[in-house]
């Protein structure tokens, strides 16, 4: 059973926490690894370099949107493939455990599941632009 009194705050905690983590990862790609370095890493995985830039943008924009509560369902659903791509292309070769050298696929897959759950759960409390407002605008 869902406790309708506390569920919005649970969604808020998930939204802000994962948003902050996405923002941190995206800013690390931008400020530490640089866009050129990020593109180079993606190329070293056999992926197009531009996909690294797109991932960096998705992490930064998605993180900000989650923190603020803008279209949480859509943003969370859109970030699931980013995380599964990280698990498959960047971490699968390191095995399961995140503590393995190179970081295994455990953490990004768990994070993908959390984003999928948040997409199903919804915006939560204190959302700036809830998904239902977007759905209403599209229906009009």
Whole-prediction pTM: 0.93
pLDDT digit string, tens, across residues 74-95:
999 999 999 999 999 999 999 9
Task: Summarize the confidence of residues 26-41 as an average pLDDT.
Answer: 98
Long-range contacts, 44-52 (Cβ 8 Å, 24+)? 45/89, 45/90, 46/89, 47/89
**pLDDT of 140:** 78
Tokens matching residue 94: 């390191």
Decide: 38 and 32 in contact? Cβ < 8 Å.
no
pLDDT band of 117, cuts 50, 70, 90: very high
**pLDDT of 19:** 98
Tokens matching residue 125: 């409390």
pLDDT band of 28, cuts 50, 70, 90: very high
**What is the Cα–Cα distance from 70 to 33, expressed in whole angstroms?**
28
Coil/strand/helix, residue 140:
coil
Tokens matching residue 106: 């455990």
Coil/strand/helix, residue 124:
coil
**pLDDT of 135:** 84
Task: Summarize the confidence of residues 16-37 as an average pLDDT.
Answer: 98
Which of 57-61, 85-89, 130-134 is least confident?
130-134
CA 92, 97, 103, 106: dihedral to nearest 10 degrees? 60
Where along the chain do its domains lie? 7-131
pLDDT digit string, tens, across residues 99-115:
899 899 999 999 999 99
Task: Summarize the confidence of residues 55-64 as an average pLDDT.
Answer: 98
Query: Which residues make Cβ contacts (< 8 Å) with residue 134, sequence separation at least 6?
Result: 71, 74
**pLDDT of 137:** 86
* DSSP, residue by residue, 75-95: HHHHHHHHHHHIIIIIIGGG-
């Amino acid at each position: 059973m869902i406790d309708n009194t506390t569920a919005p705050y649970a969604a808020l905690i998930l939204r802000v926490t994962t948003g902050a983590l996405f923002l941190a990862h995206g800013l690390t790609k931008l400020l530490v690894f640089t866009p050129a370095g990020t593109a180079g890493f993606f190329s070293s995985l056999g992926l197009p370099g531009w996909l690294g830039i797109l991932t960096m943008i998705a992490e930064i924009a998605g993180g900000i949107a989650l923190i603020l509560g803008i279209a949480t369902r859509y943003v969370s659903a859109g970030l699931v493939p980013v995380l599964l791509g990280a698990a498959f292309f960047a971490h699968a070769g390191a095995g399961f455990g995140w503590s393995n050298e190179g970081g295994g696929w455990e953490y990004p897959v768990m994070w993908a599941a959390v984003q999928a759950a948040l997409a199903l759960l919804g915006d939560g409390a204190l959302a700036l632009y809830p998904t239902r407002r977007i759905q209403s605008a599209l229906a009009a």
